[in-house]
Chains A and B, each alone.
Chain A
């Protein structure tokens, strides 16, 4: 019984991390139909820089901010100076983000080396807390709470603000949104920056769950793509449901049938692509 609880809680932790990664990515995609394949590299960048700052200063808060901000700067630079030059050319945009992702990952290998890095957490944060059904690390509980609060905040912004309405309009129909006066390219830049910031933050807190290593960027990117394809590109609700499904499948498959873990992760994505290409909550193009 304990295994069941443990796998469920691990699945929820993974879902929380994936939601933090995928929420911004899916909105940015919805607005400009650009899949940022460097998103995993921003996770890695935020992680390494954040952990270094925590090691240097001893402050988790500073580390989180540093990890988020370095990824935000990377995202802004990439959007402004590279992506804008190839706007509208789908293949060039995708290749550009792959190239940037590879360059960042290689640069991180040069700077930080290939040894796995874990998150230096204080004893209080590492200590398990009693969740009623079992003991579980406090920091992982905090990750779940953070993802939940982030989800609520994003939902409130998207539902009740003029900014959120403009983003929804842009995701629905970019051309018409522009003809009605909405500056969609500027909105996209903003959403892209927030998405990069969140990827950096996820890189720092995710290191408590998965050590930073070379190749993690691709793994995290793949899982984020699974999330947004299942949920529907451009849908926040889809990102939440997709993250829950992917997190749970990942945890239980790894726990019970590790040799089939990838099969169980990519099977739902493949089925969705074949039978409901717009995803569970996306709108047909």
Chain B
């Protein structure tokens, strides 16, 4: 068993009276792991709980990069070396593309070298919009910037909540391959994704969620794009 960078045990979370996450147990080492499931099964709640964002009544154990983070405020979790791409991008309308990257640029725990210029190499079209503000760029560029601002923190662990939503297929491929490469560099990548192709391309293995629980985990050699699995847990065929 390799060392776990994201280590979740018995994680439960509530929204008021409703239970959104039920006893989740999973781990991510230096690899890219996909969390898949239909809308509303608790994937975003899981990402938010890992980042300390919500819901307030989370219990269990969440260790990120060896530290217990449950109960820590989000900015402390981010500074442990956790990069986060929230669902819906959540860019800052008052900040330019450049400012988004400058504000987040820092040395991470793994000694990677993600800088603004490397982000612009990965996403050339973003490089042409450096002075544009967060609400002035296209949907695809917003996704690129949301990923870019997480990369320049040089994270030891990266949590992405549907990062490829709204991206053109060619760009989805670029993003998926960079995530795979990132995991090869020693970063734990947790990819919450509805885009099966992106998940298959980027991830080494996958967990499938349903109704706040992990209901299936791909075993060694099992294909994530296995039609029966996808049909059962996602209701899609590829």
Contact of A178 (CB < 8 Å), options: B75, B93, B149: B75
Give complex CA distance A166, B78 in Å: 15
Interface residues of chain A: helix, strand, loop or mixed (majority): helix
Q: Check A181/B75 contact, CB under 8 A, given A165-B102, A165-B103.
A: yes
> Are B95 and A172 in contact, with the CB atoms below 8 A?
yes
Pick the interface stretch among B61-69, B84-92, B187-195, B217-225.
B84-92
Give complex CA distance A155, B153 in Å: 27
The answer to whether B131 has its CB under 8 Å from any CB of chain A is no
Give complex CA distance A169, B78 in Å: 15
The answer to whether B53 has its CB under 8 Å from any CB of chain A is yes
The answer to whether A179 has its CB under 8 Å from any CB of chain B is yes
In chain B, positions 96-117 with a C-beta closer than 8 Å to chain A are: 99, 102-104, 106
Give complex CA distance A123, B18 in Å: 71
Q: Check A166/B103 contact, CB under 8 A, given A176-B90, A180-B84.
A: yes
The answer to whether A80 has its CB under 8 Å from any CB of chain B is no
The answer to whether B49 has its CB under 8 Å from any CB of chain A is no
> Are B94 and A176 in contact, with the CB atoms below 8 A?
no
Give the A-B pair count, Cβ closer than 8 A: 63
Q: In this complex, what residue of A is CB-closest to B149?
A: A180
Q: In this complex, what residue of B is CB-closest to A170?
A: B92
The answer to whether B51 has its CB under 8 Å from any CB of chain A is yes
Chain A residue numbers with a CB within 8 Å of B84 are 179-180
> Are A181 and B78 in contact, with the CB atoms below 8 A?
yes
CB-defined interface of B112-127 with A at 8 Å, one 1/0 digit per residue?
Answer: 0000000000000000
The answer to whether B74 has its CB under 8 Å from any CB of chain A is yes
The answer to whether B79 has its CB under 8 Å from any CB of chain A is yes
Distance to closest chain A CB from B56 (angstroms): 10
Q: In this complex, what residue of B is CB-closest to A171?
A: B94
Q: In this complex, what residue of B is CB-closest to A167?
A: B94
Interface residues on B, range: 20 to 34
> Are A173 and B90 in contact, with the CB atoms below 8 A?
yes
> Are A162 and B86 in contact, with the CB atoms below 8 A?
no
> Are A165 and B95 in contact, with the CB atoms below 8 A?
yes
> Are B86 and A179 in contact, with the CB atoms below 8 A?
yes
Contact of A180 (CB < 8 Å), options: B93, B102, B104, B134: B104
A177, A181, A183, A184: which has the most chain B beta carbons within 10 Å? A181
> Are B74 and A173 in contact, with the CB atoms below 8 A?
no
Chain B residue numbers with a CB within 8 Å of A182 are 75, 103
Q: Check A169/B75 contact, CB under 8 A, given A175-B53, A179-B53.
A: no
Chain A residue numbers with a CB within 8 Å of B95 are 165, 168-169, 172
> Are B73 and A169 in contact, with the CB atoms below 8 A?
no
Chain B residue numbers with a CB within 8 Å of A183 are 75
**A-B complex: 7 closest residue pairs judged by Cβ atoms:** A181-B78, A178-B74, A168-B94, A176-B90, A172-B92, A179-B74, A169-B92
> With A172-B134, A178-B73, A179-B84 given, can you name 17 additional A-B contacts, CB distance below 8 Å?
A165-B95, A165-B99, A169-B95, A173-B92, A175-B90, A177-B92, A179-B51, A179-B74, A179-B77, A180-B78, A180-B104, A181-B78, A181-B104, A182-B75, A184-B75, A185-B73, A283-B94
Spell out B's residues near A (CB within 8 Å).
51-53, 73-75, 77-79, 84, 86, 90, 92-95, 99, 102-104, 106, 134, 149-150, 153
List 27 A-B pairs, Cβ < 8 Å: A165-B99, A165-B102, A165-B103, A169-B95, A172-B95, A172-B134, A175-B74, A176-B90, A176-B92, A177-B92, A178-B73, A178-B75, A179-B77, A179-B78, A180-B103, A180-B104, A180-B153, A181-B78, A181-B104, A181-B106, A181-B153, A182-B75, A182-B103, A183-B75, A184-B75, A283-B93, A283-B94
